[in-house]
């Protein structure tokens, strides 16, 4: 399957297709038309046809999409058919919240370890995984073949820790620290900047107020 030319805009939409198809599967729906999917996802049917055509056309005219096939194929495109070992750096509330999402595991993100600098957390376990101290990090990464690290630490530490992770072979960082990381090109970084999301909400709220109330 040729997929190099797919635009980032389409890629950004794929996880949402994957989510809706997963829900259809849970409801034992076998086939769905682009019109019905359009109604559920509130995206135009032509957008859906265009997006899914990128992957060789899973649909058959007048017959709809095979939900399971489409779900599986999009999963492969997203790399969810391959397991990745993952660690979390920062065992605060957010780190613990992420450690407790068992749904990540179902998609191939295997929670292997969680690290912190707070000695009071040493030995506390989350889903059977003990919180380890940072001095064990290097050895742990090498021994457990860790691909992905999640950063839920203050921004002042994030850059140093990210460099340490990458020096030890981590290939991708899911970054919740409130700073941008400047890492080698071959390292994948996905940022979740929560306060920026809250500011977008604030902007939309204040624009609505200006347009309707003032």
Measured from the CB atom, the residue of 69 and 101 that comes closer to its own copies is: 101
Site string for its own copies, 124-153 (x = CB under 8 A): -----------------------xx-----
Residue from 57, 79, 123, 169 touching its own copies (CB under 8 A): that is 79
Q: How far is the CB of 116 from its own copies (least distance, A)?
A: 14
155 alpha carbon, distance to own chain's centre: 20
Check residue 7 and report its DSSP letter.
Answer: -
Would you count residue 101 as binding its own copies (CB under 8 A)? yes
Residue from 58, 108, 129, 159 touching its own copies (CB under 8 A): that is 108
**What does residue 100 show for φ and ψ, rounded to 5 degrees?**
-85, -5
- Which runs of consecutive H residues, i.e. helices, occur in 43-154? 45-53, 67-77, 93-99, 102-106, 137-144
* Partners of 190 in the β-ladder: 174
* Partners of 131 in the β-ladder: 114
Q: How far is the CB of 84 from its own copies (least distance, A)?
A: 7
Measured from the CB atom, the residue of 31 and 76 that comes closer to its own copies is: 76
Would you count residue 69 as binding its own copies (CB under 8 A)? no
Strand order in the sheet with 31-32: 31-32, 64-66, 59-60
Stretch that binds its own copies, among 50-58, 116-124, 160-168, 204-212 (CB under 8 A): 204-212
Measure the CA–CA gap between 105 and 178, rounded to whole angstroms.
25
89 alpha carbon, distance to own chain's centre: 16
Residue 12 sits at the vertex; the CA angle it makes with 192 and 73, to the nearest 5 degrees, is 120
Residue from 55, 65, 71, 109 touching its own copies (CB under 8 A): that is 109
Chain residues in the site for its own copies (CB under 8 A): 3-4, 11-12, 14-16, 18-19, 41-42, 77-80, 82, 84, 92-94, 96-98, 100-101, 103-104, 107-109, 147-148, 171-172, 174, 178, 180, 182, 186, 188, 190, 192-209, 211-212
């Amino acid at each position: 399957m040729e997929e190099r030319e797919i635009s980032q805009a389409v890629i950004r939409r794929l996880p949402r297709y994957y989510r809706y198809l997963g829900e259809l599967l849970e409801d034992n729906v076998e086939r769905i038309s682009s019109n019905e999917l359009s109604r559920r996802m509130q995206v135009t049917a032509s957008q859906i046809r265009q997006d899914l055509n990128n992957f060789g056309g899973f649909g058959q005219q007048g017959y709809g999409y095979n939900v399971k096939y489409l779900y599986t194929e999009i999963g492969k495109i997203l790399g969810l058919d391959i397991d990745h070992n993952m660690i979390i750096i920062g065992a605060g509330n957010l780190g613990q919240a992420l450690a407790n999402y068992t749904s990540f595991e179902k998609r191939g993100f295997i929670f292997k370890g969680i690290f912190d600098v707070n000695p009071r957390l040493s030995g506390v376990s989350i889903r059977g995984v003990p919180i380890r101290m940072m001095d064990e990090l290097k050895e742990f990464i090498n021994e457990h073949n860790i691909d992905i690290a999640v950063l839920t630490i203050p921004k002042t530490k994030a850059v140093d820790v990210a460099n340490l992770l990458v020096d030890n072979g981590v290939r991708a960082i899911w970054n919740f620290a409130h700073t941008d990381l400047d890492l080698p090109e071959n390292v994948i970084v996905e940022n979740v900047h929560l306060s920026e999301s809250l500011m977008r909400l604030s902007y939309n709220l204040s624009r609505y107020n200006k347009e309707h109330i003032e």
